[in-house]
Amino acid sequence: MALMMQQFNFFLSQILFSQINVSEAPSIWSAFKRPIDISTYGHLSDWLFDYITVSITISFIFVCAGLFGFCYYYSAKRNKVPYYTYGYKKAHLKITLLIGLVVFFAIDSMIAGIANKDIKEVFWKFPTADENPLHVEIMAQQWMWNFRYEGSDKEFNTDDDITTNHILYVPKGRKIEYRVSSKDVIHSFYIPFIRNKVDAIPGRVTRLWVELTKTGTYDIGCAEMCGTAHYKMGAKLVVMEIEDFEKWQASANVLAKNGSDPSTVENYWGWKWEKQ
């Protein structure tokens, strides 16, 4: 039965991957665009990226203007007699300090401050039990992603757990908490469409939460160079309406219960969901 489940998953993945291949060829401009944001918090990262891009572009323009401006005004043609300065006059020190402070407060401190605020108030604010988050355990390995959902007993690593690989089914509009680990080397669970990722580290459990806003099929990748087939280490995130997800979960739960094989020890790679 475990084999049947695997074949079922493989069959589904074939359907999904073939659908994706049929989609339109991307235009050259799409290479410069970000993937769409399907999370409630992705705009925070996008805003920060935009802020950094705009502020360093403005700084670059000022530096270039200074460089070429000084080359022009202080060229040998305009200054027959050279004038030597060492930059230690009070005015020089004041201008240097002013530019340094502007860069420090307007760029560095802003980036660090906003990033810290977002991490504290959003990214590390994991859903509480009252919010009824969906729990998913993820085991990375060279070179695939294994997913595990608790069954109707709300316990991990028991006979009714639903396990999938290559495809991660999730509901829209419900918070999801992922707990991630690795069988072999360090990987990184990365969904570009939510602007978030977390390392999968052997012997350690890391976590990440998300709430999704759009249904559809999206790419999952590995963002850590993890070996020769690292580039192949992808999976699909299938976001469904809550009702559809619950239907899938119920049927997969029955299949899992009927198909569990306690003698196959490697099926039980899950771990206890500790309160953190």
Q: What sign has the CA pseudo-torsion 133, 134, 135, 137?
A: negative
Output the CA torsion 247→249→250→253 (10° steps). 160
* Residue 226 within binding range of Cu ion, rule CB under 5 A: yes
Least distance from Cu ion to the Cβ atom of residue 223, Å: 8
Minimum CB separation from Cu ion for residue 226, in Å? 3
- Please say which residue, 114 or 201, places its beta carbon nearer to Cu ion: 201
Q: Regarding beta strands 216-222 and 187-191, do their DSSP bridges make them parallel or antiparallel, or are they unpaired?
A: antiparallel
Rounded distance between C-alpha atoms, residue 258 and residue 1, angstroms: 8
By CB under 5 A, residue 166 contacts Cu ion: no
Choose the binding region for Cu ion from 13-21, 100-108, 126-134, 219-227 (rule: CB under 5 A): 219-227
Beta bridge partners of 49: none
Which position among 176, 233, 252, 256 is part of the footprint of Cu ion (CB under 5 A)? Answer: 233
Closer to Cu ion by CB, 167 or 222: give it. Answer: 222
- Terminal C-alpha separation, the chain: 34
Is the Cβ of residue 41 or residue 190 nearer to Cu ion in the bound state? Answer: 190
Residue 176 sits in the site that holds Cu ion (CB under 5 A): no
If binding is defined by CB under 5 A, does position 167 make contact with Cu ion? no
* CA distance linking residue 127 with residue 270, whole number of Å: 21
| Cα 134 to Cα 138: distance, rounded to the nearest angstrom | 13
Question: Candidates 15-23, 115-123, 160-168, 179-187 — which segment interacts with Cu ion by CB under 5 A?
Answer: 179-187
Give the sheet arrangement for strand 196-200, strand by strand. 167-171, 235-240, 216-222, 187-191, 196-200
What is the per-residue binding string for Cu ion in 186-205, x denoting contact by CB under 5 A?
-x------------------
Residues within the interface to Cu ion (CB under 5 A): 187, 222, 226, 233
